[in-house]
Amino acid sequence: MTNLSQFEFRKQPWFDQEHFEGFNQAIPMKTIVIHCFDPRASEIPQAVANYFGDEVYPGENILDADGNRVGNTRTMFTVSNAGGRAFSALQSVATMDYLFHFEKVVVVHHSFCGATAFEPEHLIHSFHEHHHADIATLIDHDSMAILDFEQSVKHDLELLRNSPLVPKNIKLYGFFYEINSGQLTEIARDIPGENQ
Ligand SMILES: [Zn+2]
């Protein structure tokens, strides 16, 4: 078995954990996009990049002389989960704050999302019925389903703004994406220091 620890940054002789200043030199990441993992919504990151106009997506790998992947030109990282919910993305946002200096978190919910096919009570009841598990307190109730797109997007921006896992200086944007036309519509934004 190969010694897998050779692939860890902390084990590299040149890596200085005590003076780590982020990986932005390798990847100029400045935005996190949270969207649904529905394959019909897979063009969302590109639509967001086009909307802002100053993002690089998908970008390309940067290789050193030996062909090692030492960086990438992409500026936008994506988090995909059921519904594109902020609740599921909090761990990613907090981790990226350690690894990068970034500016924006973008939430995108999309038309005909599976999360609009039920209400929270249906999910809770179904789990109880089929798996004998009570999940009512395990997932933020308002993050279980999408009952109204405007409310779900605004809810997720508030969840991000109020979470200790999201740095207070981060700019938040919320969008609705129509999967058939590809149209992206801004629903809300929360920019620190600016009037709403
Ligand atoms: Zn969806």
Residue 33 vs residues 36, 90, 118, 147, 158: alpha-carbon distances, Å: 10, 12, 25, 21, 16
Structural domains in the chain? 27-119+148-186 (3.40.1050.10)
pLDDT digits (tens, 9 = 90+) for 27-44: 999 999 999 999 999 999
* pLDDT value at 196 more than 70: no
Pair 172, 104: CB distance under 8 Å: yes
What's the chain's average pLDDT?
97
pLDDT of the residue at 63: 98
CA of 48 to the centre of ligand 1 (A): 16
CA of 39 to the centre of ligand 1 (A): 9
CA of 152 to the centre of ligand 1 (A): 12
CA of 129 to the centre of ligand 1 (A): 24
Q: What is the mean pLDDT of residues 93-122?
A: 97
Q: Is the dihedral of CA 43, 44, 49, 53 positive or negative?
A: positive
Is 110 annotated in a binding site? The answer is yes
pLDDT of the residue at 194: 84
